[in-house]
Amino acid sequence: MVTYRYLGNSGLKISEITYGNWLTHGSQVENDTAKACVRAALDAGITSFDTADVYANTAAETVLGEALRGQRRESLELFTKVYWPTGPKGPNDSGLSRKHILESINGSLRRLGTDYVDLYQAHRYDTETPLDETMQAFADVVRQGKALYIGVSEWTADQIRAGHALAEQLGFQLISNQPQYSMLWRVIEPEVVPTSAELGVSQIVWSPVAQGILTGKYLPGAPLPAGSRATDARGGADMIGRFFRIPGILERVQLLTPVANELGLTLAQLAVAWVLQNDNVAAAIIGASRPEQVQENVRASGVTIPIELLARVDEALGDTVVRDASMTATTAPTSRPS
């Protein structure tokens, strides 16, 4: 069963394995399968569920809401996000303006079938909206009881610091950041993690298995597995492509097998357990296209990896690891998307 951690400097506990439905619900998997995956998550003790209005252009929120219908609301932690374009993609259908935030939270609550979300997250930083406008809108969302806490996603250390200061002035808590983080993608370690730890902000990390690369199912020189994310033309192949471009990465991943074997884990479980060794990480988000994947990944909860095995992970992956702190900023949008 899954264990639980506090989120940031708050009293909110979340499941350290969090179920996310990016690239799955309303897109890659049928609704019945999506609901079966949610049931598997609940059966494993997962109480935290992450989605976003942009996932499948709002359909993912609807599917998640339907899958959770009938569950005791107080026993769940629901996370959603705002920023990317939704709907007809008009001039105000994206970003973090007051208008878009206040309209988007109402849409998300309607689709999720709830009166509030536990965590409402800025899905990216909006370079075209004054930060004080954004944070004031989030403050109003909290005061209206539509969100209990506020988080961000893929913000730089400086952006987190500025947002946290405004949140304190406005009387609400900024408690989380949701970045990409894995054995192969460690760009948050030099700046984002130390700043967040200082401010009482936790990481809820996505793609802990590096879009599937760290599962070991992609073998050097072998054809891509049928039905895998790397063969998905609806977005999955684009996301995983950056890892395939790293020379020698598939060979390096196979070197992790002895480490996983010593811990009695699969490579996927090792990858999820690895991100949870970081004290600033409150949860790892997992996705699933089959209930068995949920059941497999939750076995990473509660695992402690000895220091000597962590060192062997670093040795195995070598220079395939991306550590450049500037990547958080350089991979972010420079203007509001449309």
Q: What CA–CA distances, in Å, run from 316 to 206, 259, 272, 319, 336?
A: 22, 9, 17, 9, 39
User: Can you spell out the DSSP letters for 24-55?
Assistant: SBTTTB-HHHHHHHHHHHHHTT--EEE--TTG
User: Around 324, how many Cα atoms within 13 Å sit in the side-chain half-sphere?
Assistant: 8
Q: What CA–CA distances, in Å, run from 130 to 127, 163, 199, 246?
A: 8, 11, 22, 37
Indicate if 55 belongs to the active site: yes
Q: Which residues pair with 25 in a beta bridge?
A: 29
Distance CA 33, CA 30 (A): 5
Q: Choose the catalytic residue: 19, 55, 83, 218.
A: 55
**Amino acid symbol at 229:** R
Among 79, 128, 113, 131, smallest CA distance to 283 is for: 79
Distance CA 330, CA 94 (A): 20
Active site residues: 55
